[in-house]
Chains A and B, each alone.
Chain A
Amino acid sequence: MTLTLAKIEDLAPDQAALDAARKLLKPATWPLLAMDGAGFLWGECQGSGASPYRVIVCEDDGGAKCSCPSRKFPCKHGLALMWLRADGKTSFVTAPRPDFVEEWIGRRRGSAAAPPKEKPRASMEAEAPPPDPKDEAKAEAARARNRAAREASVRAGLDELDQWLADQIDIGLAGFPAAAAQKCEKFARRLVDAKAGGLAARIEAFPAAMLALPEAERAGFALEAMAQWRLIAQAYRRAEKLPPLLAADARLAVGWPMTREALLADPSAPRAKGRWFVAATLAETQPDRLRRLETWLARLDGGAPCFAVLIDFVPLAGGANLGFAYAPGESFEAELAYYPSQAPLRAIVAAQNGATTRDASLRLAPRHDLCGALDAYEEALARAPWLGAWPLALEGAELRGAGDALWLCDGGTALPLQGDAAAPLVGIGPLAMFGLWNGRRFTPALAETALGRWVRP
C-alpha cells in the first residue's frame, strides 16, 4: 500500500477539502468499501442525495474519480477513501472490479492496470452488420475532403502570416512591442479561423512573455519570435523536402492535432523506458482560459532521451486545483511515447509499471556543467529551430545576485534567472540543478544542495 497521510496531504487541493474529508471517516457513511488487491479501491459514500456517490482511487498514483459534482480534485470523497485506506482501521472487501471501475481505469492515461479492451463477443460479432464498402468509401472521401480543405485553409493562413510579418518589417520592429497585444490578438484570431491553432496560440501568448522582459530586450525578443513563426510557416510549406521528424514537428507546431491513440499507434514515435524522476511541475494560464500543466521528467538511468514533459490542459473553471498527477521528487517506472520531433521532449505515459514512489535518496545526477548543458540546448535548437523551453540539468553552478537580478554562474558563463524564487539558493555554493531555459531566462525548478532539496515554490 503506498497511500500515506503525508501523500494524502500533498494530494489535497486545500485545507478545507481535508477538513471535509475528515468528517467522512465514519464507516457508517460508506455502504460499500472494496478493493481489487491490485491497487484500486472503490466505495460508495452516502451524500445528501438519494443515491450514494461512487468513488474510485488508484493507490499507486493517487488518482481518483468521484461521481459528486465537486470541482475540487480530488474531492472530499476521494480524499476520505484514501484516508480510510491509509489509516488501516477500516476493512475493505476484496472483490472483482465493477463496471464503473473498469470503465474509469480504461479511460486513464497510461495506466498499466488498464484492462485490454474486450473483444466483441461472438454473438455480437454475428449480429453486427458487415460494413458497407460504399459507406466506408464515402466516409473516407469526406475525411479526405475535410483534410484537403483544412490544408488549403492553413496554407492560406500561412500566406497571411507572411504578409503580416512583412508589414511589421516595413514599419520596423522598434514600435512593435508597444502595440503587440492588440496586433497579436487580432492576427491570432485570423489564424484560428484558418485552422492553424498551434501557431495562433504561440502568437497570442507572445505579448505576455514579452512584457515580462525589461523594455530594452523587447524588440530583440520580438525579432526572435517572429523568426520562429516564419520558420514554422516555411517548414510547413516545404514539408516534403524536410526530414520526416522535422516535417511532423512543423505540422504539430502549426496546429494539426495528434491524438493519444494516434501517437500510441505510431510505430515511428520514439519511446523510452526507464525510471523517471519528476523534476518540476509548472502551471501556466493560457489566454484561452485553459491552464497548461507541465510535468517535467528526467530519466534516472541516464538513457536517451534524457528528459520529457507531460502536458495537460485543464479548464480554469476547475478552480485553484491544479490536478498534477505527480509531484516533484517522486519517481516512477514507465514507458513514455514521444510526439514526433527532431528534439523529442513532449511525451505521454504509454504505460506505467508499478507505483509512483518518493525516495529521498533518489537524486538528480546531472552529467553537464552549465556550459555543457547550454551546448546540449544549442544542439537541440539546431535540430528543432522553433524549440521553446528546454530542460537544463547541470552541476557545479552557483547563484549570484547582480542588482535586482539573480544569475546562475559557472566560470565565464552566466544565465539570468526568471524571478527571484530561487533567492534562498544565493551564496550556498555549487549546486546540482534542474531548470528550464527559454533562450532569455532560466527558470530554476529543483536543486540538490547541502541543506537538502530545494523545489520551486
Chain B
Amino acid sequence: MTALNPKWLDAAAAGLVAGRARGALPLEELFGSAAEGLALDALALAGQARRFMRPAPPASFDATVAVEDGRAIVSNEARGLMLRLLSGKGADPQEAPARAVAFALQAKKLRPHPFDLPRLDAFARAHADLLGAAALAFATPRGEEARSFFEADAVDESNWRTVAPSQQAGFIARLRAREPEKARELVVAAFPSCKAEARARLLEALAAGLSEADKPFLESLAGDRAPKVKELATRLLAALPGSEAGQKLLADFASRVKISKAGLLSRRSVVKLEPPANVAGAYVDLWAATATSPLPLDGLAAHFSLSVEALCSAAQEDEALSKAFAICALREGRAELLASSMRAAPGAWIFVAQQAIERGYEQAARQFNWPIHTETALAFEPAEAAALCAALLQPELWDEAPHAHAFRPIQTLLGGPLPPSVAGRLLGSKFWRALVAGEEPDAALLACLSALTPKELRSRMRADLANAPAAQAARALLALDCLDSLDAP
C-alpha cells in the first residue's frame, strides 16, 4: 500500500459510503489486492485518518456587535442570591420577588452579570426592558435587530421610537401628563409604522387628559385592523368630555342605576344598580366596572345631580357600584375618595386594583396571547402612586389573608416596594400577625410581602419571619437577602 494521500482517502471514504455491493469500493485500486478483510482495513484507515482532519472554518463569521451597557454589574453576593431566587425549576419571573428584583435593578441602575443571563433566561426575557442593554440584547430573538436601550429618564422625543414598546408607552404617558397635544402628535406620526400591540399600548398611554382635540384621531381609528385598537379607540371616544358617544354610554348606564332616598331622620341618597337580566352573580361586578370604565366620575355625579363624594357614599350599599366607582377613583387618581370606599369595603381592593391597573393588559394578554407587561398605562408620579396605594390597602381591616397574586397590580402601580407607611401598617396588622403565627402560612404570600417591603422595614420583616415555620419563610428570607444585596452600597 502506498502512503495515505488525500486522493486515496477520498476514494476509500466515497466507496465505503456508497457501498461495496455496488462495486463502489475499489479495493484492487486502493490496496493492489481485493483480499477478504481489506474492506475492514480500508474502513479503519479511512475513518481514523479523517479524525486527524481539522474542521474547515465557516466562509464568514457574523459581525460582532459589542453591546454597550453603562450599568454596573451586580456584586458577587447579589449574583449568587439572584441565581438562587430567580433560576431553576418553578422560578416564575412574574412572581413578586422576581419583579421586585427587576425594579430594584432598574432603580439602582444595575444589571445582571452577563454570564448569568442564560440561567436567568425566563427572568431576563420577562423584564428585559428593566435590566439594561445587555439583557435586552440577550432577550432579542436571533435574527431580529436588537432594540436600543435607554434608561427611562433618558428617553426623549429624539429617541423614543427606537426603545422598547413598553418604554415608548411609558414615555408617551409621561409626556401626556405634561403636554397632551405634543404626546398625541407624536403618537399620530408614529402610528402607521407600529405593530398592533404597540399601537394599542400607545393608545392606552393617551387615555389620560383626553380632550376634544383628540377626537379626529380617535375617530380615524374606527377602521383599524386590530380589534384591540378599535375597541380602545371606541372606549376613549366615549370618554371624551361631552362627546355624543360618551353621553349615550352615560345615559345607558344611568338608566340601570336607581336613585332613591333612605333614612328616617336624615334623608340620604342611595343608588342601586339594576344590571341586565343576563348578568348575574360575580359577573355583575365585572359588568359595572366595564360599563363605567369610559365614564368620568364628575360626569356621572352631575348626571345624578350629586357631588362625586355624595355619589360614592350613596353607592356604598351596592357592592358592584361601589367597586366600579372605586375603580374610577383610582384611575382618576382620587386618593381620598378611594380611601373612603376601601374603608367601607376593605376586601374590594383586590378587584379594584386588578380592574383599574391591569385590566387592559390582562385582557390583551388573554385575547391576543401577548405577554403581560410590567408597566401600567396609568402614569402617576411616585408620590401620587404612593397615596393611591395607601388609600387602596387597608390591611388593618382585612379579615383574611389575600392571595399573593392580588398584590401584582399594586407592584405594577408602584414600580417598586410599598411606601414605608403602608408597609408599616401591614406589619402591624392583625392579618399579618395571624399569618406568621399560623402553622403553615402561604409561602408565596410571605415571599410576595417580603419583596414588597421597603428597605427601612426589612429588618422588622426578618424578625417577624423568624416566628414563621422555616420551610415557609425560606423563600421570603431569600428575597430579603437578595434585595438587601442589591441595595448594599
* A interface, CB within 8 angstroms of B: 6, 9, 15, 18-20, 22-23, 162, 165-166, 169-174, 219-220, 223-228, 230-231, 234, 374, 378, 381, 385, 400-405, 407, 409, 412-416, 421, 423-424, 426-428, 439-440, 451-452, 454-455, 457
Chain B, residue nearest A422 (CB): B118
Q: Which residues of A sit under 8 angstroms from B16, Cβ to Cβ?
A: 169, 172-173, 223
Q: Say whether B470 contacts A19, CB under 8 Å.
A: yes
Q: Say whether B64 contacts A223, CB under 8 Å.
A: no
Set B25, B60, B138: member contacting A169, Cβ < 8 A: B25
Q: Say whether B13 contacts A409, CB under 8 Å.
A: no
Judged by a CB distance under 8 angstroms, whether B277 is at the interface is no
Q: Say whether B470 contacts A174, CB under 8 Å.
A: no
Set A9, A226, A230, A413: member contacting B84, Cβ < 8 A: A9
Judged by a CB distance under 8 angstroms, whether B265 is at the interface is no
Q: Which residues of A sit under 8 angstroms from B65, Cβ to Cβ?
A: 427
Q: Say whether A170 contacts B21, CB under 8 Å.
A: yes
Shortest Cβ gap from A235 to chain B (Å)? 10
In angstroms, Cα B474 to Cα A15, docked, is: 9
Judged by a CB distance under 8 angstroms, whether B220 is at the interface is no
Q: Say whether B40 contacts A230, CB under 8 Å.
A: yes
Chain B, residue nearest A175 (CB): B19
Sampled A-B contacts (5; CB under 8 Å)? A165-B43, A219-B17, A225-B47, A227-B47, A451-B114
Shortest Cβ gap from B464 to chain A (Å)? 17
Q: Say whether B470 contacts A22, CB under 8 Å.
A: yes
Shortest Cβ gap from A158 to chain B (Å)? 12
| CB under 8 Å from chain A, chain B span 329-387 | none
Q: Which residues of A sit under 8 angstroms from B21, Cβ to Cβ?
A: 170-172
Set A15, A171, A223, A455: member contacting B50, Cβ < 8 A: A223
Chain A, residue nearest B88 (CB): A15
Among A15, A174, A440, chain B packs the most CB atoms within 10 A around the CB of A15
In angstroms, Cα B49 to Cα A385, docked, is: 10
Stretch at the interface among B51-59, B253-261, B311-319: B51-59
| CB under 8 Å from chain A, chain B span 26-47 | 39-40, 43-47
Judged by a CB distance under 8 angstroms, whether B463 is at the interface is no
Set A224, A427, A454: member contacting B51, Cβ < 8 A: A224
Q: Say whether A401 contacts B61, CB under 8 Å.
A: yes
Set B22, B51, B115, B471: member contacting A451, Cβ < 8 A: B115
List 3 A-B pairs, minimum CB-CB distance, nearest first: A227-B47, A172-B19, A414-B57
Q: Which residues of B sit under 8 angstroms from A407, Cβ to Cβ?
A: 57-58, 61
Interface residues on B, range: 35 or more
Shortest Cβ gap from B64 to chain A (Å)? 4
Q: Which residues of A sit under 8 angstroms from B73, Cβ to Cβ?
A: 451
Q: Which residues of B sit under 8 angstroms from A6, Cβ to Cβ?
A: 80
Q: Which residues of B sit under 8 angstroms from A415, Cβ to Cβ?
A: 55
A-B residue pair count with CB separations less than 8 angstroms: 140
Chain B, residue nearest A457 (CB): B119
Judged by a CB distance under 8 angstroms, whether B267 is at the interface is no
Q: Which residues of A sit under 8 angstroms from B64, Cβ to Cβ?
A: 400-401, 426-427
Judged by a CB distance under 8 angstroms, whether B403 is at the interface is no
Judged by a CB distance under 8 angstroms, whether B48 is at the interface is yes
In angstroms, Cα B54 to Cα A307, docked, is: 22
Judged by a CB distance under 8 angstroms, whether B66 is at the interface is yes
If A414-B58, A416-B55 touch, whether A166 touches B17 (CB-CB below 8 Å) is: no
Q: Say whether A170 contacts B43, CB under 8 Å.
A: no
In angstroms, Cα B462 to Cα A395, docked, is: 47
Set A172, A173, A414, A423: member contacting B118, Cβ < 8 A: A423
Judged by a CB distance under 8 angstroms, whether B142 is at the interface is yes
In angstroms, Cα B64 to Cα A427, docked, is: 6
Q: Say whether A20 contacts B118, CB under 8 Å.
A: no
Shortest Cβ gap from A387 to chain B (Å)? 9
Among B51, B58, B117, chain A packs the most CB atoms within 10 A around the CB of B51
In angstroms, Cα B64 to Cα A402, docked, is: 10
Set A20, A220, A405, A440: member contacting B471, Cβ < 8 A: A20
In angstroms, Cα B60 to Cα A15, docked, is: 45
Q: Say whether B58 contacts A424, CB under 8 Å.
A: no
Set A22, A162, A403: member contacting B474, Cβ < 8 A: A22
Set A22, A223, A374: member contacting B13, Cβ < 8 A: A223
Chain B, residue nearest A18 (CB): B474
In angstroms, Cα B47 to Cα A228, docked, is: 8
Judged by a CB distance under 8 angstroms, whether B18 is at the interface is yes
Shortest Cβ gap from B313 to chain A (Å)? 49
Chain A, residue nearest B73 (CB): A451
In angstroms, Cα B142 to Cα A409, docked, is: 21
Q: Which residues of B sit under 8 angstroms from A457, Cβ to Cβ?
A: 118-119
Shortest Cβ gap from B61 to chain A (Å)? 4
In angstroms, Cα B80 to Cα A385, docked, is: 43
If A171-B21, A223-B13, A424-B118 touch, whether A402 touches B46 (CB-CB below 8 Å) is: no
Among B64, B67, B138, chain A packs the most CB atoms within 10 A around the CB of B64
Q: Say whether A174 contacts B48, CB under 8 Å.
A: no
Set A165, A174, A227, A228: member contacting B17, Cβ < 8 A: A174
Shortest Cβ gap from B177 to chain A (Å)? 39
If A416-B55, A451-B73 touch, whether A172 touches B22 (CB-CB below 8 Å) is: yes
Shortest Cβ gap from A414 to chain B (Å)? 4
Q: Which residues of A sit under 8 angstroms from B44, Cβ to Cβ?
A: 227, 230-231, 234
Q: Which residues of B sit under 8 angstroms from A378, Cβ to Cβ?
A: 52
If A220-B50, A231-B48, A421-B118 touch, whether A169 touches B20 (CB-CB below 8 Å) is: yes
Q: Say whether B17 contacts A172, CB under 8 Å.
A: yes
Chain A, residue nearest B471 (CB): A19
In angstroms, Cα B20 to Cα A225, docked, is: 18
In angstroms, Cα B57 to Cα A405, docked, is: 11
Q: Which residues of B sit under 8 angstroms from A409, Cβ to Cβ?
A: 57, 61
Q: Say whether B51 contacts A381, CB under 8 Å.
A: yes
Q: Which residues of A sit under 8 angstroms from B399, Cβ to Cβ?
A: none
Shortest Cβ gap from A22 to chain B (Å)? 4
In angstroms, Cα B52 to Cα A423, docked, is: 27
In angstroms, Cα B114 to Cα A405, docked, is: 19
Residues 83-121 of B, flagged 1 when their CB comes within 8 A of A and 0 if not, give 010001000000000000000000000000111011100
Q: Say whether A403 contacts B58, CB under 8 Å.
A: yes
Judged by a CB distance under 8 angstroms, whether B62 is at the interface is yes
Set A220, A374, A428: member contacting B54, Cβ < 8 A: A374
Q: Say whether A226 contacts B47, CB under 8 Å.
A: yes
Chain B, residue nearest A21 (CB): B470
In angstroms, Cα B54 to Cα A414, docked, is: 8
If A409-B61, A452-B113, A454-B115 touch, whether A404 touches B142 (CB-CB below 8 Å) is: yes
Q: Which residues of B sit under 8 angstroms from A452, Cβ to Cβ?
A: 113, 115
Set B43, B55, B84: member contacting A15, Cβ < 8 A: B84
Judged by a CB distance under 8 angstroms, whether B24 is at the interface is yes
Shortest Cβ gap from A311 to chain B (Å)? 22
In angstroms, Cα B60 to Cα A404, docked, is: 12
In angstroms, Cα B453 to Cα A214, docked, is: 51
Q: Which residues of B sit under 8 angstroms from A412, Cβ to Cβ?
A: 57
In angstroms, Cα B66 to Cα A416, docked, is: 21
Chain B, residue nearest A413 (CB): B54
Q: Say whether B51 contacts A439, CB under 8 Å.
A: yes
Shortest Cβ gap from B365 to chain A (Å)? 29
Among B21, B114, B475, chain A packs the most CB atoms within 10 A around the CB of B114
